[in-house]
Structure formats: structure tokens, C-alpha cells
Amino acid sequence: MKNRFAILSALAALFVLIVASRQAIESARYGLQLCLELILPSLFPFFLISVLLSRLGLPLRLGRRLSRPAERLFGISGVGATALVVGLCGGYPMGAAYLADMLREGVIREDEAEHLLAFCNNSGPAFLVGAVGAGIFGSPRLGLALYSIHALAAVGTGLLLRRRAPRPSSHKAKTPVSTASFSQLLPEAVQQTVSALLTVCGFVVCFTVFTGLLRANGILEPLVRLFPEGNREAVLAFLIGFWEIGGGIGALRGLPPTPLNLAIASAMVGWGGVSVQFQTLAVLADSNIKGALHRTGRLSSAVLSFCLSYLIFTLRS
């Protein structure tokens, strides 16, 4: 039954692509542009450095110092807490890739990795400050404020989902820290980074085409008309961002930085889009980490981000 539904869905998608080929090509071109101008420049260096740091044993070295506050706040190990830092610095889906790498290295358990995935896979400063703040709203300072709110929402989600299991930091690494030289680790890290980013860009293009076809066929408009006229453009951006964050943020271009528009942008970044869900599953494909709690964490982050942003920017205006 599942295979039949998948086949019918694929045939329906093929039919739509044939009928609306021009819109599909334009959307794919826009998705590739997003990858070349935003995704690759902002993620590649963070991906590469985080893989190298993981292979060089940074989680084990920092884990001891972070152990006590991490356990008290989130019920996690100090080693696991480094994933929150990496996730907030690297951007989607860097946190997930880092967790998968730590699990492969044997420095965290599978159950802790699944828990950490709920609040350690986040957007990074390059996207929020550069793309959203400066690129969309014309103010890097607004982007920095949105990034701070995003980080607070991630911490808040971690507190809401705090583990009450036995102390996870008692876990011992199953494998020693790599003793390979830097010249050996760098090519491996580059290969892993390029492979992960190609997967990310593939999903970005896929969902950009999907949302482009939704707009071209007027499927989103009936939902948008349910809202007041002055908010319809922002609502349309949110509906696009639900599926693909880059297209949703791009749809906010030209709108004023009102508290509502900023809160919608913050919620989109907190959720990450369905595209990010698939990107996350892709980087976790060769691990045993399940992604169910990740969706709960992203939903919590979106709600917290929206509420905090609307409150803070309303009080500032």
C-alpha cells in the first residue's frame, strides 16, 4: 500500500512538473542561487571545522568542564553539551551532523544523542545576522537580536525537555581519540563536509521547486485570504517557510521590520522548515539516531521564538 501511494505521488509530481515546467525551472534556478550565495558560503567552513574538532577530541576535552552545568540544566553530559555550541555556531543541520559524528566516535550514547537532537540542531549567526538581518530587514543589529532570541529559544527548549534519567556523563568513550595526523584528518573532513552539503543543497532545491509550484498553481492563496489584508504577505512567507526556510525568509524581502514580521521570521528560523527535517534525516542516515524528538524540539523552538520576538520587539517599538 505504501509503495502504491509513493508511486502515485511520484507520477503526480511528474505530471505537475511537465505541465508547469517553466515555473519548476525558475524555482530550481532560485534554489541553486540560494545554495551558491547563502548555503555553501555560510555552512562549509563551519561544517569542516566542526568535523575536525570532533575528530581531534575537543568534545572529550571540554566535556569535563561543562559536565556540572550541563547536567543541572539539561540533564545531559558535558560532552553532549558541546553539540549545543556547535549547532548554534554552524547552522542547520550542523548540530545533527556533529551528534552523528560523536556517536560514531563513541563519546555519547544513542539515547543521549536523540535527546540532544531536540535542541542542539539550530540556525547559525551567518544566516540570521547576514541573510535575515542585513539581507532582508537591512539591519545586522536586528539579525543579531534575532540570533540571540533563537539561542534563548534553543536553551528554553532544552530546559523544557530536560532529561530526568541517570547521569549520562558516566558514559565512557568506546573508542580513543583519533591519533591520526592533521594531514590525514583534513582530506577526510573535506570529503565528509562536501558530501553533507551536497545533500543539504539537494533538499533545498527540491523544496524550493515544491513551494514554487504551490505558488504558481494558486494553492496557498486561499489560506492567505483568511487573514487581514495587511498581514497577508507575511503569512504567505510563513507558509512557504514552513516547507523551506530560505524561500520563506526571501519572501519577507521588502516588508517593514514590524514586531509581527520579525516574530514570523523568528518562528520560521526556529522551525527550520520541512526541508531541514529531511536534511537532518539525511546526515543521520548512517547512524541509529531517530528524529522523532527533533520535530518536537523544532516546534517548541518556533513557538518560543515567536513569543519572545513579538514581546521584545513590541516593547522596543
Whole-Å CA distances, 265 to 68, 185, 224, 234, 240:
34, 38, 17, 9, 11
Count of other CB atoms within 10 angstroms of residue 23 = 18
List pLDDT tens digits, range 242-268: 999 988 988 898 899 999 999 999 999
Mean pLDDT of the 140-146 span: 94
Reported confidence tier of residue 169, pLDDT bands at 50, 70, 90: very low
Quote the distance between the C-alpha of residue 268 and its chain's center.
Answer: 10
DSSP string, 178-225: P---HHHHHHHHHHHHHHHHHHHHHHHHHHHHHHHHHHHTTSSHHHHT
Distance CA 117, CA 158 (A): 10
Reported confidence tier of residue 195, pLDDT bands at 50, 70, 90: confident
Q: Which of 180-184, 267-271, 276-280, 290-294 has the lowest mean pLDDT?
A: 180-184
Distance CA 9, CA 11 (A): 5
List pLDDT tens digits, range 5-27: 667 767 776 777 777 788 888 88
List pLDDT tens digits, range 58-79: 766 777 778 888 888 888 888 8
Question: What pTM value is reported for the model?
Answer: 0.84
Quick one: pLDDT at residue 179? 55
Say if CB 86 and CB 99 are below 8 A apart.
no
Is the pLDDT at 211 greater than 90? The verdict is: no
- Alpha-helical (H) ranges within 56-181 are 58-74, 78-90, 94-105, 110-120, 125, 140-160
Specify the higher pLDDT residue, 96 or 216: 96
Count of other CB atoms within 10 angstroms of residue 73 = 13
Reported confidence tier of residue 164, pLDDT bands at 50, 70, 90: low
Count of other CB atoms within 10 angstroms of residue 204 = 26
Indicate the SS3 state at residue 49.
Answer: helix
The distance in angstroms from the start CA to the end CA of the chain is 54
Mean pLDDT of the 184-194 span: 83
Distance CA 57, CA 84 (A): 16
Cell 553539540 identifies what position? Answer: 83
Quick one: pLDDT at residue 174? 45
3 state SS for 233-299: HHHHHHHHHHHCHHHHHHCCCCCCCCHHHHHHHHHHHHHCCHHHHHHHHHHCCCCCCCCHHHHHHHH
C-alpha grid cell, residue 175: 573508542
Is the pLDDT at 171 greater than 50? The verdict is: no
